[in-house]
Amino acid sequence: MTGDLSAHPTVVVDTLRATTTIVAILANGGEGVLPVAEMEQALAMRARFPEALVGGERNNRKPKGFDAGNSPREFPPERVRGRRVILTTTNGTQAIARCQSAPWLAAGALVNATAVGLALWEQGGDALVVCAGGRGYPALEDVLAAGAVVELWPRAAWGDGARIAAAVWHQARDRLLDTVREAVHARELETMHLVEDVIWAAQKDYCPVVPIRRRDGWFQLG
């Protein structure tokens, strides 16, 4: 991905795991989440917000000096209630950073697909669902979530990308967890003993909240 991706209302999807984790943090009472592209930015922001947790991953692991990794299970209510979290990840927060021009930007995943899909529809006009993918390749779990995001929209509103995502979603919805577990990144996480994160992320509509980017870059619940 290069350049600014969107000048339209946008939902960024990184099912495994960045946007799922953003949803989890805010659903669990986090005060705000600041996604940043680079680890140095994350640590610099901690200097400005010393009470914030710094979370994220490189190669799926918690970077040295960080408070938490990128697992939704690392941010339970007792840890995040009333706190800010600064997050940097390999693909998801990069995709968010490349949507600077979007006039309305939300974080989407399977766990909030219906809520975020309806919120995006309410923006009216052209809209975009950006799938973060992995290392420049499409990711099955992101296409699935994109299909779940657009499924309640009238078919006439779908572009070809939405049709492809909806077709993949409809084929997989009745065996969602099995399908997500077949994805390349899910299998990678499983080899790192992170299968619980994959199971967590595959719970459709488990957290019906809509994290929205404010003007200052922090995501809060809409």
| Contacting residues toward ligand MLT, per CB under 6 A | 14, 16-18, 57, 60, 70, 89-92
Instruction: Give me the residue whose beta carbon is nearest to ligand MLT.
Output: 89
Nearer to ligand MLT, 60 or 179 (CB): 60
Q: Which residue lies nearer to ligand MLT by CB, 17 or 204?
A: 17
Q: Whose Cβ is closer to ligand MLT: residue 135's or residue 215's?
A: 135
Measure CA 135 to chain center: 15
In angstroms, give the least distance from the CB of 42 to ligand MLT: 13
Least Å from the CB of residue 137 to ligand MLT: 12
Q: What are phi and psi of 136, to 5 degrees?
A: 85, -5
Q: Is 191 exposed, middle or buried (0-12, 13-18, 19+ CB in 10 A)?
A: exposed
Nearer to ligand MLT, 111 or 166 (CB): 111
Alpha-carbon span 11 to 26, nearest angstrom: 16
Closest approach, Cβ 126 to ligand MLT, in A, equals: 26
Least Å from the CB of residue 194 to ligand MLT: 8
Question: How many whole angstroms separate alpha carbon 23 and alpha carbon 28?
Answer: 8
DSSP string across 13-53: E-TTTHHHHHHHHHHTT-SEEEE-SSHHHHHHHHHH-TTSE
